Amino acid sequence: MRVTAGVAGVVLMGVGVWSLLYGAAPQDPWPVVRWLAGAVVVHDGIVAPLTLAVGWAVTRLPARRVVRGTLLVMAGLTAVAYPVLFRPGPRQNASVLPLDYGRNWAVVMAVTVLVGVGVGWLRWWRRGRPRR
């Protein structure tokens, strides 16, 4: 399965490079190269060190499993919401993204934290009760 997925990935990368260079409208590849380089710099310079620092800090907490789960859900939701939260420039069509995505994202983050706190409290409460 891994070999099949690897071969499919290499083939699709080849199709992407071919389309970039020889597609219907040949384009300058340098904006893509700059974007990819920027993504590597942002990931390796900001995201990875921040993740390691938070992970190290969480290992010292008594409810580290609940905190890690809550942070994982929050990171996944933020990754999905990132394009609409940080969309570039004004919209040409106001009906394309009509909602207040920043506020809605903050509400979802707050609900996620509340659920995490609730799960942590429930685990603490059940652990303190005598077994029957």
Position 91 pLDDT exceeds 80: no
Instruction: Quote the CA–CA distance of 99 and 113 in Å, as a whole number.
Output: 22
Position 15 pLDDT exceeds 70: yes
Which amino acid appears at position 114 of this protein? L
Q: What is the pLDDT of residue 88?
A: 64
Which residues, in sequence order, are CB contacts of 102 under 8 Å at separation 6+?
Answer: 85
Structure tokens at 85: 């939260």
pLDDT tens digit string along 19-69? 878 877 666 778 888 988 999 999 899 989 998 999 899 988 888 899 999
Instruction: Quote the CA–CA distance of 78 and 109 in Å, as a whole number.
Output: 9
Residue 94's pLDDT band (boundaries 50, 70, 90)? confident
Instruction: Quote the CA–CA distance of 3 and 9 in Å, as a whole number.
Output: 10
Q: Is the pTM of this model over 0.85?
A: no
Residue of higher predicted confidence among 114 and 100: 114
Share of the chain above pLDDT 70, in %: 92
Which residues, in sequence order, are CB contacts of 31 under 8 Å at separation 6+?
Answer: none
The whole-number average pLDDT for the span 94-111 is 87
Instruction: Quote the CA–CA distance of 36 and 30 in Å, as a whole number.
Output: 10
Residues 105, 110, 113, 114: what is their CA dihedral angle, to the nearest 10 degrees? -140
Residue of higher predicted confidence among 24 and 106: 106
